[in-house]
Amino acid sequence: MQKYDKLDKIGEGTYGMVFKARNKETGEIVALKRVRLDDDDEGVPSSALREICLLRELKHPNVVRLFDVVHSEGKLTLVFEFCEQDLKKFFDSMNLQPIEPSLVRSLMQQLLKGLYYCHSRHVLHRDLKPQNLLLDSSMQLKLADFGLARAFGVPVRCYSAEVVTLWYRPPDVLFGAKLYNCSIDMWSAGCIFAEISNVGRPLFPGSDVDDQLKRIFKQLGTPNEDNWPAVSTLPDYKPFPTMHPSISWSQIVPNLSSLGRDLLQKLLVCNPAGRMDSESALKHPYFSAIEN
């Protein structure tokens, strides 16, 4: 750790403090994520191990770079590339001023590129939210905080349903689904897309699981066996009153173009089998059309 000069405390992550630091040898500014190692613990937290293992393999402009791992004095320090802010802080800095449509498009495209890279390498992020999307000084977006991420393969394994921050958790996982795939991240991406367009106003800010499902069904309609076969067999399924969308998408995301709204609706599909994947989303005309 003698290699680094600590400059400022940036914040507190899931499992430790994060500092801004300078590499004394190169002068490069980096972020140091300090992992707490408790004496009575069984070593390194599983979330830290998972993040280290996955990020050592993931190298892409839209995924945060892990430069080094330093183990000393009962502490584990992860050395990351430094980014000025996360997407949530960017929203706060905008003071509700609309974000340029071209920047909304760029941020969403970068998010999808990062996801496509991860998904094509069989990695699910499982905790996408504005706080876990970093922005550097040139507004390059990077997926970060892979503490809940998992590698997946064939055959599909059962995973935990206790993943994804509530506001960005898809209906299938809210109903207790333990068999899921890349569609889990695509739902979160849709929620974030709407939030970027609305300058930080969350799309479905539920207070608990039931409230979250009600908010989703109010906008998308209550699913049934016709549009989501076998929904009633999910572990935590319970029937909800039949709701039909009463507010149009142009009212929900007034700053998004018709093509943007079309992409959003293809991401926010209750039945995970009907949700658009990252490769298809990147080919959506929203990213190629010249719009005013």
Tell me the per-residue pLDDT of 234-247, one tens digit each, with 9 for 90 and over.
Answer: 999 999 999 999 89
Tell whether residue 238 is among the known ligand binding residues. no
Tell me the per-residue pLDDT of 211-223, one tens digit each, with 9 for 90 and over.
Answer: 999 999 999 999 9
Tell me the per-residue pLDDT of 155-206, one tens digit each, with 9 for 90 and over.
Answer: 445 555 566 889 999 999 999 998 888 999 999 999 999 999 999 999 999 9
Residue 31: pLDDT band with limits 50, 70, 90: very high
- CATH class in words for 4-81: alpha beta
Mean pLDDT, range 100-109, rounded to an integer: 97
- Given the residues 127, 145, 172, 185, the one annotated as active site: 127
| Active site (annotated) includes residue 127 | yes
Q: Are 115 and 144 in contact (CB under 8 A)?
A: no
Question: What is the model's pTM?
Answer: 0.91
What residue spans define the domains of the chain?
Answer: 4-81, 85-287
CATH code of 85-287, in short, is 1.10.510.10
Report cis status (omega within 30 of 0) of the bond before 205.
Answer: no
